[in-house]
Chains A and B, each alone.
Chain A
Amino acid sequence: MHRTLAKLAALGAAATLALTGCAAGGSAGGDTVEVTVWHYWDGTNADTFDAMVDDYNSTHDGVVIKTSNVPNADFLTKLRASATSKTLPDIAIGDLVWVPQINEIGSLADLAPLLPSDVLSDINPALTSFGTIDGKQVSVPVSANNLGYIYNKTLFEAAGLNPEEPPATWEELKADGQKILAATGKPAYELFTQAGDNGEGLTWNFQVNLWQAGGEFLTADNSAAAFNTDAGKEALGYWKDLIDSGLSKVGAWGELGKSEVASATDGSWMVGIWDPEQPFDIGVGPAPYPEDGTPTTNLGGEQAMVFDNSPETTKAAADFLAWFLEPEQVLSWSEATGMLPVTNSIATSDEYLTWVDDNQPRLRPYVEQMADAHARPNTPLYPAISLAFAKEIEKALTGDVTVDEALDNAEKAVNDVIAKG
């Protein structure tokens, strides 16, 4: 018994020693400015970012960039807690859709006057305009991705289709799909049919087809739903047709990786994730659009925001971002991570495109789509809007309501979310 007590006492003593042995992070000495960066990248993305930061630190005097990985599921929680006691990082790098929410958590610096104008003007305009809130450039993109058409070449071949020619339009997708269904008995195209607990999987996939049909999701000032139009009906009608004809199924997402379905609209990041051990013979094409519509897709990726903690840190943070957005860094980031370049000069440069063709040709359709890609509405209410929308649209896909009713209900639900604020 006494031995147990002695052990406990020893544990306590060890803990005390350990406690006194540590010191607070403290600021770097002299005139060195310390800039802290929080990001949610893991694996290759995190390793690449850390290596680039090390490179920056060793080539720039008077500043030390410190990175910290914050798991993506709790990123906003940690930011909100930190905002209560002035322990926010200097730079937060998070998902594009979070920018309007993070803008409300803390005071973000206007990056327009802090970044060289040639850097800003080189960035994909859909991404810079997304980061513009109330006339301030509150965020800049540092990494991008979008949605394209990924298909199973083996199943295409089995249906007698040319595995190098993915469907370019909705009409071709349906025609190819009939052949695939007849030959393999498998659905031809996977739709994101379940709202789940955040709705965004369904919503951001649907927006691609809505925009292609000429529609808009919200009004330009994000004050009301704008999807309950002929374009909205065309897009939702397209989804409903696919389900009714058996080309798509209502159910959980993830069948493409199991080769249970021949194709899906999925993100450019999947190319890199699937690359090391490909679950099927992967083909990629641009997102199919209606014959009478326009090609476009939905943008994702990470944006960087600078919290205005002090004039020194804000300037140092902006300088770092300016460096990160220089062609050399955009190129090395895109090549190392397989994410898409955020600047037009790199996205269209021979050097990058040659690298794509030589190393990751499946990215080529995604890179080319960047030019006419759209971004989601930049309102802090977007997560709630997305869920409300998806829940109503889901009911049309399961056949509980008609296409028109679902759009009416979704419009009302979205406008209710906006009205409540």
Chain B
Amino acid sequence: MKRSTATALGRHAVLIVGAAFVVMPFLWMFTTSLQSRAETYSNGSILPTSWHWENYAVAWEAAPFGQYYLNSLIMAAGIVGGHLVLDAFAAYAFARLRFPLKNAIFVVLLAALMIPTFVTIIPAYSLVASFGWIDTYWGLIVPRLADVFGIILLRQYFASIPSELEDAARIDGCSRVGIFFRIMVPLALPAFATLGIFSFLFAWNDFLWPLLVTNSDELRTIQIGLSAFQGRYGTSWNYLMAGTLTATVPSIIVFMFFQRALIRGIAASGLKD
């Protein structure tokens, strides 16, 4: 009894320290977001010393952030949707279908993971420019509709689903497409949730690509808007932190949404141990 209490206390002590490590930067962001500009340069305190709530309004009004939010949401929705649909099709093909050079193509795909994004940015930009997609939603979304990481993630998960389930469906007269939508997708929901979270965070936080392909406020995303607080002549840390905290909210919501799907998926399939 005593021993287990001590174990529990020890475990919680470790967890509390871990949680503090995670929460501390956010707390500091919050504190900084409430300081006056002068304080941000002279005051290193992590506990709030002043309460300039108006910083949030000032930061919001510094640029058309409403439009930036909308653009980020549209872009993120497009990219997440693209990843979930296109990655899943490709992943299923690699996991279950038989076609010539399947393994060779998969190895090439794996190799593509090792190419840094920055190497492909200029060619991708040239393509998008030649399509006339600079400063459009097309330019923001289409080049990023599918990604290798998602294909590999889903392929591994599909491969772990017993093929007996598919065979049974086939015997009952289910088509290949039916098997994909009725058997594989529901069973792989945890993997889809994981991919959804990753894709959303990637899209929401992406900076360089949206910066390159957009010029007008009508198409700019939230991360570019935030970078304007880091000016040539000094950084407005208080507004930057206020804006960044506001911009973090959708990420947290999406995480909670997909996390529920993740847990529900595991419970429903009963396959993941």
Q: Verify if A84 is at the interface (C-beta below 8 Å from B).
A: yes
User: A4 near B189 (CB under 8 angstroms)?
Assistant: yes
Residues on B with C-beta less than 8 A from A74 are 208, 211, 227
Q: Is the CB of A258 within 8 A of B129?
A: no
Decide yes or no whether A328 CB sits under 8 A from chain B. Answer: no
**Residue B241 is within 8 A (CB to CB) of chain A in the complex:** no
Please, which residues of chain A bring their CB within 8 A of the CB of B74? 14-15, 18
Contact of B81 among A1, A11, A259 (CB under 8 A): A11
For B232, list chain A residues within 8 Å (CB): 40-42, 72, 95
Whether the Cβ atoms of B231 and A72 lie closer than 8 Å is yes
Select which of A1, A66, A85, A279 is within 8 A of B268 by beta carbon: A1
Q: Tell me if B36 and A277 are in contact (CB < 8 A).
A: yes
Min CB distance B245 to A, Å, is 19
A8 is an interface residue with CB less than 8 A from chain B: yes
Please name all residues of chain B whose beta carbon is closer than 8 Å to the beta carbon of A77 when the two chains form the complex: 208, 212
Within 8 A of A (CB), among B38-53: 38, 41-42
For the complex formed, measure the closest distance between the CB of A20 and the CB atoms of chain B, giving whole angstroms.
Answer: 9
Q: A29 at the A/B interface (Cβ < 8 Å)?
A: no
Interface membership of B149, Cβ < 8 A: no
User: Does residue A19 face the partner (Cβ distance < 8 Å to B)?
Assistant: yes
Using known A-B contacts A19-B141, A276-B37, A279-B42, determine if residue A24 contacts B135 with beta carbons closer than 8 Å.
yes
Instruction: Return the CB mask of B174-218 against A: 1 if under 8 Å, else 0.
Output: 000000000001100100000000000000000010011001100
B129 touches A71 (CB 8 A): no
User: What's the Cα separation between A377 and B189 when bound, in Å?
Assistant: 61
Measured in the bound complex, the distance between the Cα atoms of B122 and A66 in whole Å is: 25
Question: How far is it, in angstroms, between the C-alpha of A259 and the C-alpha of B77 when the chains are bound?
Answer: 48
Does B84 lie at the interface of the complex (its beta carbon under 8 Å from any beta carbon of A)? yes
B212-A78 in contact (CB<8A): yes
Chain A residues positioned under 8 Å from B216 (CB to CB): 25, 66, 68
Give B55-86 as 1s and 0s: 1 = Cβ < 8 Å from A's Cβ atoms.
00000001000000000001001101110110
User: Which size bracket describes the interface of B in this complex?
Assistant: 35 or more
Residues of A contacting B91 in the complex (Cβ-Cβ under 8 angstroms): none
CA distance A72 to B229 in the complex (A): 11
- B208 contacts which chain A residues (CB < 8 A)? 74, 77
Q: Which residues of A contact B121 (CB under 8 A)?
A: 81
**Are A70 and B211 interface neighbours, CB within 8 A?**
yes
Q: For the complex, what is the distance from the CA of A389 to the CA of B208, rounded to whole Å?
A: 30
In the complex, A254→B43 CA distance in Å? 12
Q: CB-CB < 8 A to B268: which residues of A?
A: 1
Q: Is B133 interfacial (CB 8 A cutoff)? A: yes
Partner of A4, one of B77, B82, B234, B261: B261
Closest to B71 in A: A18
Assess whether A294 is interfacial by the CB under 8 Å rule.
no
The verdict on B230 contacting chain A, using a C-beta distance below 8 Å, is yes
Contact assessment for B81 and A254 in the assembled complex, using a CB-CB cutoff below 8 Å: no
CB pair A71–B135 under 8 Å, yes or no, is no
Residues of A within 8 A of B (CB): 1, 4-5, 8, 11-12, 14-15, 18-19, 22-25, 36, 38, 40-43, 46, 66, 68-74, 77-78, 81-82, 84-87, 89, 95, 254, 257-259, 267, 269, 273-274, 276-279
Give the 8 A-B CB pairs with smallest separation, nearest first. A85-B129, A15-B78, A12-B81, A71-B227, A42-B231, A72-B232, A68-B215, A269-B233
